[in-house]
Amino acid sequence: MRPFFYKRRFFFIPLAVAAFLSLISFAVMSLWNCLLPGILHVGVITFWQAMGIFVLCKILFGFGKGGRGFGGRGGDGAPWMRRKMEEKFKNMTPEEREKFKEKFRNCGRWGHHGDHPFQKYWQEAKTEEAKPE
């Protein structure tokens, strides 16, 4: 069985990819045409438009395993990236480590470009709690 598959794999793999893409495109077209015209009042789409939407979504949102973060492991990061950061962290002085930790702590979920939308209210609540009565 093995030699047969190896001889035919250059024919089988593209055929399997085309069949999978066709099946997914048909599913996207069917779901779009059944749901969205009634909900959002958009027009119906053709098979080729559905295939284009699917390919566009894969380009924009990725071809990965799924899940969150790099590699789909809950945001742990890629192994090579983790090793690189561990090496940098080992070579830092204790002061640099604390500075890095503080900067990373302040970064949080909202990124380093801006504060959390409710951060000013939290700061006000903390100062009110700290005031002696």
What pLDDT, in 10s, does the model give residues 27-77?
A: 999 999 999 999 999 999 999 999 999 999 999 888 776 554 444 444 455
| 113 located within any domain | no
Over the stretch 79-126, which tens digit does the pLDDT of each residue have? 777 788 788 888 888 888 888 877 777 665 555 455 555 565 556 655
Q: Is the pTM for the entire model greater than 0.75?
A: no
Report whether 21 contacts 51 (CB < 8 A).
Answer: yes
The CA R_g of the chain, rounded to the nearest whole Å, is: 26
Query: What is the number of domains present in the chain?
Result: 2
Burial of 54 (0-12, 13-18, 19+ CB in 10 A): middle
31, 49: one domain? yes
What are the start-end ranges of the H helices in 1-133?
2-40, 47-61, 79-90, 94-107, 119-130
116 in a structural domain: no
Structural domain including 79 reads 68-107
Could you tell me if residue 129 is inside a domain? Answer: no
What was the pLDDT predicted at 76? 52
